[in-house]
Structure 1
Amino acid sequence: MPATTSISHEQKKLRRDVMIITILAVLIVLSIIVSMNSGYIRLGPLEVFKTLFGYGNEKQSLILFQFRLPRIVISLLIGAGLAVSGCILQGISRNALADPGILGINAGAGFALMLFVSFFPTNSFGSVFAIPFLALIGAGLTALLIYVLSYKKNEGISPTRLLLTGIAVAAGISAAMIVLTLKLDPDQYQFIATWLAGSIWGSNWKFVLALLPWIVVLIPLAWYKARMMNVLSLGEHTAASLGASIEKERIGLLAVAVGLAGSSVAISGGIGFVGLIAPHLARRLVGPRHQILLPTAALAGSLLVVAADTIGRVILQPSEIPTGIVVAVIGAPYFLYLLAKSRS
């Protein structure tokens, strides 16, 4: 009888998880439809539908296929990448406040991007594919520095120490970036200012091609390691007793998180809080098991970024509010709530 009850409970939970994922997917589709219909030049639902199937005029095709759809796809990829990155960082650090932005990984990617912008143009075709690699190097070196500074022999990684070290490193990198901006010409400064505000500056198909391989490879790899993340979240002593190679697995997962965050930030700019909000929302909806938590967080992150980008484009037409600012308006109060909750 207890076994039957347990199986029934698992089946109910599985059906509930599938329903939640389906609802998130439907909300993403609705957000995409709204985003395709929204903008300074409005396209009605019927016009969008006709244009998608090749019956729109030249102007409608240009607006939809060359401006809006690439930006929507990039928003989906960025949201999923940042959310899964945050989910990994929270899992391996056992810190509910871990996030690529808060831990300084985004700042490291931005610093590498600023150095690149100082010497090379950002609009050449080759630079589009070089930028994610450079951002990855900057994010990786920053993550390595934070890891080394927050690691203590015989103690491992303390969640509080990791968070405080990340905040300190991010502050130092941000100060260095401010100094570097004084040496930029007006065009370079405008680009960096746009990037820092979290504006999705890469909004055409070549940026989709530059970002897509990173997301397609690293998110499935993270999902493949979901069982190990479940073990690591139990604590170092428990994970070691189960035979896990803690440091090796943690460094590998950290590399995946850095790759997702660095490549996403290279295209999206300094969008924060996605890696904080999406995993928390997913955890409340489906629980802590990473096999279902990771895809749910990816969908929640995509939904958040697409919705924020759409709001930023339409709320003050013809001007735009950077996506990062819209996300920050949502994320900052939520971060304060989590911080207050963690101290209680």
Structure 2
Amino acid sequence: MIQPAVIRKQRIILIVLALLIFITMVIGMGMGYSAIPYSRLLPTFLGDGTFKEEFIIFSIRLPRMIITFLAGMALALSGAILQGITRNDMAEPGILGFNAGAGVAITIFFLYMPIEAGSFVYIIPIVGFFGALLTAGIIYLFSYKKNTGLQPVRLVLVGIGFSMALSGIMIVLISSAERVKVDFIAKWLAGSIWGTDWPFIWAFLPWLIILIPFTLYKANVLNILSLNEPVAIGVGLSLEKERVILLLSAVALAASAVSITGGIAFIGLMAPHMAKSLIGPRNQLFLPIAILIGGLLLLVADTVGRNLVEPEGIPAGIVVALIGGPYFVYLILKKS
């Protein structure tokens, strides 16, 4: 049973994170190449803004911030799932190669398939999912041993190798492509938020509406999986079945996010660790916090990145990598 004091602490943390997210969005809506006075934000939301103010906020900045926040949530939850099922604090969809698998599939689709504007936004997450799923399946097979089952450490090592190989394949694919398409893929690789229109939000939301509640429902299973295998088997858990189901959920979350935001890594690494340090390792407690931290991290990274260099800005993926890279090294040193 969870102590009432711990639940109260979790709620306070969630409220603080929600306030930070709100403040970041307000700051982000005013800042940019075409700055809007903060005194004009509320009138614009109430329908009393000029055409320019309404266009900048409702057609450019607000959908971009929403999609960025949702993607950060998905990547954080994917990382938390992977760390739970592998019992490895370094596990993360970018490091394990799932993002790269989604990227290769999206690259092939974008370069060689006929694209229809109306269906493109809805097909891209599905293409990314199947690319990441195929990658995850191959990595899983290489990490599985008949007598001992899935080897968590082996899964991470094989995933890192596949991630590097798939990144090389992507470079080969775009080396002879048209300039316009190469520019798009290059921005995707850098983690540039490109799906910034409302249709991308409607295409992305169903994935989160299904997978976030499902993962929270499986929180107790993740608690058991984080223990050693004999304990998990002893309580009657179908180990491989639950791992596969949760692995599919992690793949779907990561692929749907990066198909719209580009190749962003480290959010799934940092957010679960930060959440655990705030509230502890119990999944029922830290998963909601990790989800909000992930959304906040990517939102802040994109807000900072797009305002550092005008008018193009710095891709959010690069800003996140500048923070996440040293954090990854810190975790390695801490574990050694």
Q: Which TM-score applies when normalising by structure 2?
A: 0.98
> In 1, distance between residues paired with 2:330 and 2:149?
28
> In 2, distance between residues paired with 1:123 and 1:339?
45
Q: Map 1:1-344 to 2 at 5 A.
A: 10-120=3-113, 124-343=117-336
Relative to 1, partners in 2 of residues 1:255 and 1:324: Cα closer, same or farther, differing over 3 Å?
A: same
Q: CA deviation at 1:317?
A: 2.0
Q: What secondary structure does 2:246 align onto?
A: helix
Which structure 2 residue ranges, 5 or more long, are not aligned?
Answer: none
Q: What secondary structure does 1:101 align onto?
A: helix
> In 2, distance between residues paired with 1:295 and 1:12?
17
> In 2, distance between residues paired with 1:216 and 1:116?
26
> In 2, distance between residues paired with 1:105 and 1:208?
22
Q: CA deviation at 1:158?
A: 2.6
Which structure 1 residue ranges, 5 or more long, are not aligned?
Answer: 1-6
Relative to 1, partners in 2 of residues 1:133 and 1:71: Cα closer, same or farther, differing over 3 Å?
A: same
- Contact map agreement 1:71 1:204 (CA 8 A) in 2: yes
- Contact map agreement 1:24 1:300 (CA 8 A) in 2: yes
Q: CA deviation at 1:122?
A: 5.7
Q: Which residue of 2 aligns with 1:3?
A: none
> In 2, distance between residues paired with 1:145 and 1:186?
32
**Which amino acid in structure 1 is aligned with residue 221 of structure 2?**
M
Q: What secondary structure does 1:321 align onto?
A: coil
> In 2, distance between residues paired with 1:11 and 1:133?
41
> In 1, distance between residues paired with 2:72 and 2:115?
23
Q: CA deviation at 1:38?
A: 1.0
- Contact map agreement 2:301 2:316 (CA 8 A) in 1: yes
- Contact map agreement 2:86 2:153 (CA 8 A) in 1: no
- Contact map agreement 1:181 1:189 (CA 8 A) in 2: yes
Cα RMSD after superposing both structures: 1.2
Q: Which TM-score applies when normalising by structure 1?
A: 0.95
Q: CA deviation at 1:121?
A: 5.9
Aligned pairs, how many?
A: 336
1:194-231 residue CA offsets vs partner (Å, 9 max, x unmatched): 00000001101011111111111111111111111111
> In 2, distance between residues paired with 1:210 and 1:122?
16
- Contact map agreement 2:298 2:316 (CA 8 A) in 1: yes
Identify the range of structure 1 (174-183 vs 135-144) with the bigger mean alpha-carbon deviation.
Answer: 174-183
Q: What secondary structure does 1:102 align onto?
A: helix
**Which amino acid in structure 2 is aligned with residue 107 of structure 1?**
A
Following TM superposition, where does structure 1 have runs of at least 4 consecutive aligned residues deviating by more than 3 angstroms? Answer: 120-123
1:52-110 residue CA offsets vs partner (Å, 9 max, x unmatched): 11100101000000000000110111000000000000000000000000000000000
Q: CA deviation at 1:342?
A: 1.4
Relative to 1, partners in 2 of residues 1:123 and 1:76: Cα closer, same or farther, differing over 3 Å?
A: farther
Percent of aligned pairs with the same amino acid: 48
- Contact map agreement 1:122 1:128 (CA 8 A) in 2: no
Q: What secondary structure does 1:55 align onto?
A: coil
- Contact map agreement 2:97 2:160 (CA 8 A) in 1: yes
**Which amino acid in structure 2 is aligned with residue 184 of structure 1?**
A
Q: CA deviation at 1:293?
A: 1.4
Q: CA deviation at 1:123?
A: 7.0
- Contact map agreement 1:121 1:127 (CA 8 A) in 2: no
> In 2, distance between residues paired with 1:172 and 1:217?
32
> In 2, distance between residues paired with 1:248 and 1:330?
35
- Contact map agreement 1:197 1:325 (CA 8 A) in 2: yes
> In 1, distance between residues paired with 2:259 and 2:46?
32
